[in-house]
């Protein structure tokens, strides 16, 4: 009789963990997740030596952890575990942080860096890019309102494993964390004249229709990014990038 799980139980264990776990697709996602304290429960590579050589070259700080985590699997087994083959042929599963932990991180005071709110975003790639930006700027978290799941596998892929570097959660407008809400809208006041405080809640509208009525009603300030006449708007993720850069370049403190 053929063994239904020739990888000594890994196949079954992976499938069980994958039901609730976060798929880290590729070496860089795994590297980031490890750096930011993710609880990685399984990790595979088609070529373990090549993955560790990549760690030697690009991420010696996590080499030891990857050495302990990575199990080599044949190409066919990797294909059975992971829906698409990442060029590095490395994949892992991590535990999704508890909502309560994210809510605590978002509500912690005094806040030393803004929270980014994506109000009813539609595009999974944009959400991933924003989480990556938030991680890079050390933002407190990224909150989405509406139906998009900010932990959707495509968002996690776009975030390059950096969901673990910031608090990522879906909330309603009523549940937004405390702090002055600065909502970004082309009709607002020029952002260049405004100091963004560290406890700011920076809100951005959806790709299709901009800020919702509920978010507008909650906003304390409406701010515009500089834009030449006849251009209607910027892409959502690039708007977040400019705004976080403006915050980071300004003097720091609360309002
Ligand atoms: C693609 S835009 C939305 C365009 C949408 N058609 C609208 O009516 O606003 C997505 C979001 O990026 C931000 N944004 C884009 N361009 C902006 C600008 N020039 N100033 C401020 N925010 C901007 C806003 O938060 C906007 O809701």
Domains and CATH numbers, the chain: 10-94 (3.30.1330), 99-249 (3.40.1280.10)
Q: Give residue 112 CA to ligand 1 midpoint distance, Å.
A: 26
Specify the residue with its C-alpha closest to ligand 1, atom 7: 210
> What is the pLDDT, as a whole number, of residue 255?
63
Atom of ligand 1 minimally distant from the CA of 204: 25
Q: Does the pTM of the predicted model rise above 0.85?
A: yes
Q: Give residue 117 CA to ligand 1 midpoint distance, Å.
A: 13
Tell me: the pLDDT tens digits for 16-60? Answer: 999 999 999 999 999 999 999 999 999 999 999 999 999 999 999
Tell me: the pLDDT tens digits for 213-236? Answer: 999 999 999 999 999 999 999 999
> What is the pLDDT, as a whole number, of residue 9?
86
> What is the pLDDT, as a whole number, of residue 2?
59
Report how far apart, in Å, the C-alpha atoms of 226 and of each of 88, 146, 181 are.
Answer: 40, 27, 19
Residue to probe by mutation, ligand 1, list 186, 192, 221, 237, most atoms within 8 Å of CB: 186
Q: Give residue 20 CA to ligand 1 midpoint distance, Å.
A: 34
Q: Give residue 194 CA to ligand 1 midpoint distance, Å.
A: 18
Q: Give residue 232 CA to ligand 1 midpoint distance, Å.
A: 8
- Separation CA 41–CA 164 (nearest Å): 14
Q: Is the pLDDT reported for residue 1 higher than 80?
A: no
Residues 6+ apart with CB under 8 A from 182: 194, 196, 200, 201, 202, 203, 219, 220, 221, 223
For ligand 1, residues with CB inside 6 Å are 184-186, 204-205, 207, 209-211, 224-225, 227, 233-236, 239
- Separation CA 33–CA 30 (nearest Å): 5
Handedness of CA 149, 150, 156, 157 (dihedral sign): positive
Residues 6+ apart with CB under 8 A from 25: 82, 84, 86, 91, 153, 156, 157
Atom of ligand 1 minimally distant from the CA of 205: 27
Specify the residue with its C-alpha closest to ligand 1, atom 9: 210
Q: Give residue 163 CA to ligand 1 midpoint distance, Å.
A: 24
Burial of 140-171, coded b for 16+ CB within 10 Å and e otherwise, reads bbbbbbeebebbeeebbbbbbbbbbbbbbbbb
Specify the residue with its C-alpha closest to ligand 1, atom 12: 236
């Amino acid at each position: 009789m053929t063994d239904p799980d020739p990888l000594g139980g890994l196949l079954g264990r992976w499938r069980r963990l994958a039901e609730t776990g976060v798929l880290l697709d590729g070496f860089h996602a795994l590297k980031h997740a490890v750096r930011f304290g993710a609880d990685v429960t399984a990790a595979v590579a088609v070529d373990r030596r090549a993955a560790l050589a990549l760690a030697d070259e690009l991420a010696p700080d996590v080499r030891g952890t990857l050495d302990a985590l990575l199990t080599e699997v044949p190409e066919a087994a990797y294909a059975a575990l992971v829906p698409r083959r990442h060029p590095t042929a490395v994949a892992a599963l991590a535990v999704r942080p508890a909502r309560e932990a994210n809510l605590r991180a978002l509500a912690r005071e005094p806040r030393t860096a803004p929270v980014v709110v994506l109000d009813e975003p539609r595009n999974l790639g944009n959400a991933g890019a924003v989480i990556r930006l938030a991680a890079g700027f050390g933002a407190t978290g990224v909150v989405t309102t509406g139906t998009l799941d900010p932990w959707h596998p495509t968002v996690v892929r776009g975030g390059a494993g950096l969901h673990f570097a910031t608090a990522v959660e879906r909330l309603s407008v009523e549940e937004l964390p405390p702090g002055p809400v600065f909502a970004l809208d082309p009709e607002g006041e020029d952002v260049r004249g405004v100091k963004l405080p560290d406890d700011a809640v920076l809100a951005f509208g959806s790709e299709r229709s901009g800020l919702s009525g509920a978010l507008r009603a909650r906003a304390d300030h409406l701010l515009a990014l500089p834009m030449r006449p006849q251009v209607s708007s910027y892409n959502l993720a690039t708007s977040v990038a400019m705004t976080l850069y403006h915050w980071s370049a300004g003097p720091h403190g609360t309002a």
